[in-house]
Amino acid sequence: MTPAAHALAAIEVLDEIAARPRPAAEALKDWGRSHRFAGSGDRARIASLVYDALRARASLAWRMGDDSGRALTLGALVFTRGAAPDALSVAFAESAHAPAPLTEGERSAIAGASLDGAPAHVRGDYPEWLDAPLARVFGEDRAAEGAALAQRAPLDLRVNLLKGDRAKAERALSHLKPAPTPLSPWGLRVPLSDDGRGPPVQAEPAFLKGLVEVQDEGSQLAALIAAAGPGLQVVDLCAGAGGKTLALAAAMGNRGQLYAYDADIRRLAPLQQRAERAGVRNLQTRAPKGEADVLADLAGRADLVLVDAPCTGTGTWRRNPDAKWRMRPAALELRNAEQDEVLERAAGLVKPGGRLVYVTCSLLAEENEDRVAAFRARHPEFAPVPAVEAAVGAGAAPLAAHATASGAELLLIPRRDGTDGFFVATLRRA
């Protein structure tokens, strides 16, 4: 397929998403099923263009004066990828399977495009109803923070200390030109192609042998701050597929006991295979069994309970750009209830003197500081560990510079840190 054909496919997918709202991944998969001639490389390029358009949907529509799939695709090609309108028209005219050449109206919109006068939610590319919650956290910088969340995400790898160190992984992946991540001592960052695609690292021997895992630097830092050392009793209460579980296991050096639990047994399914590949030997998985409390035997025994709480995922919009446009106010209320529930469960597992580490990939105070405050009001036996103390205790003193205004928690943000958005609060039981 030609680049012009990729553009035509992106228009079709974006129009389909607008007509029948659903995750972009599903729409792209359906398009691939009905266009079997498209190879894997073609599908990847189409997906990359669709996601570029969705990341900046509001600002592209404002500039183009239209929010159709065609307008968003042309906007992404011109404003995100730097294509010249004349070159696009020539390429479209030369291909039998391509969009129509640019109209005079489209050329005029591109020539006069500006975000002057656009409201913050347009400049920041987020839903209008989220303007007030983001203003609460970032004030006048909310549009700039939103714009950072509308950029492409990097491809970060975590080096598995059970299989080697960062130098070994750099050598194994030297052909991909990885560089150490700025903040995480475990991380490597692999350059993306010009159209935003990463290399197939999951086919690399270093990945297949468990030396590296794909994990954003912010997620690595959340696991680092948890400070899961050798010999501890550790519970990962919302383990999911196990990204942070494996990071905790590596930090423990296979000494002590690590328990991984998730309320959704389907999410846990990949963890066992991933743990075997990573060389993890101190892990037990606990899955729901009817009405039985499968964690009852751990009550009051854990040195550390990590709560990687279900959240709206506002910090991961770079990777899931369509999610922000499907998000509704009711989802925030639902997540708050789930967060309170999982914190209640975690409280009963922490032993006296033990720690509870609350993590979200959200930037909203409603999911972060508000939930911690509500929890402490119910459980005064838990006291906050200041961010500087938590950072020093994890052997990562420089992370104290990323503390929230109160100094009690850590907040990682794309605009400043180049990571996904993550909130980390550490609480110690008296």
Determine if residue 308 is labeled as part of a ligand binding site.
yes
Domain assignment present for residue 156? The answer is no
Do 60 and 53 meet the contact criterion of CB atoms below 8 Å apart?
yes
Same domain, 254 and 383: yes
Of 99, 118, 137, the last residue of a domain is 118
Q: What CATH number has the domain bearing residue 331?
A: 3.40.50.150
Q: 313 in a domain, yes or no?
A: yes
Domain match, 110 and 236 both = no
CATH of the domain at 59: 1.10.940
- Is 262 among the annotated ligand-binding positions? yes
Q: Which residues contact 12 (CB under 8 A, 6 or more apart)?
A: 31, 69
Residue 379 included in any domain: yes
Residue 176 lies in a domain: no
The reply to whether 236 and 110 lie within a common domain is no
Same domain, 423 and 298: yes
Q: Are the C-beta atoms of residues 350 and 385 closer than 8 Å to each other?
A: no
The H or E element containing residue 358 is strand 350-360
- Is residue 168 one of the residues assigned to a domain? no
Its pTM stands at: 0.94
Direct distance between the N- and C-terminal alpha carbons of the chain, in angstroms, rounded to an integer: 63
φ, ψ of residue 269 to 5 degrees: the values are -50, -45
Q: Please report whether residue 208 resides in a domain.
A: no
Asked, for residue 265, whether it belongs to a domain, the answer is yes
pLDDT in tens, 139-163: 999 999 999 999 999 999 999 999 9
| Number of compact structural domains in the chain | 2
* pLDDT per residue as tens, the chain (430 positions): 999 999 999 999 999 999 998 999 999 999 999 998 999 899 999 999 999 999 999 999 999 999 999 999 999 999 999 999 999 999 999 988 999 999 999 999 999 999 999 999 999 999 999 999 999 999 999 999 999 999 999 999 999 999 999 999 999 999 999 999 999 999 999 999 888 889 999 999 999 999 999 999 999 999 999 999 999 999 999 999 999 999 999 999 999 999 999 999 999 999 999 999 999 999 999 999 888 899 999 999 999 999 999 999 999 999 999 999 999 999 999 999 999 999 999 999 999 999 999 999 999 999 999 999 999 999 999 999 999 999 999 999 999 999 999 999 999 999 999 999 999 999 999 9
Q: Is residue 401 part of a domain?
A: yes
| Residue numbers annotated as active site | 361
Domain of residue 360: give its range: 224-429
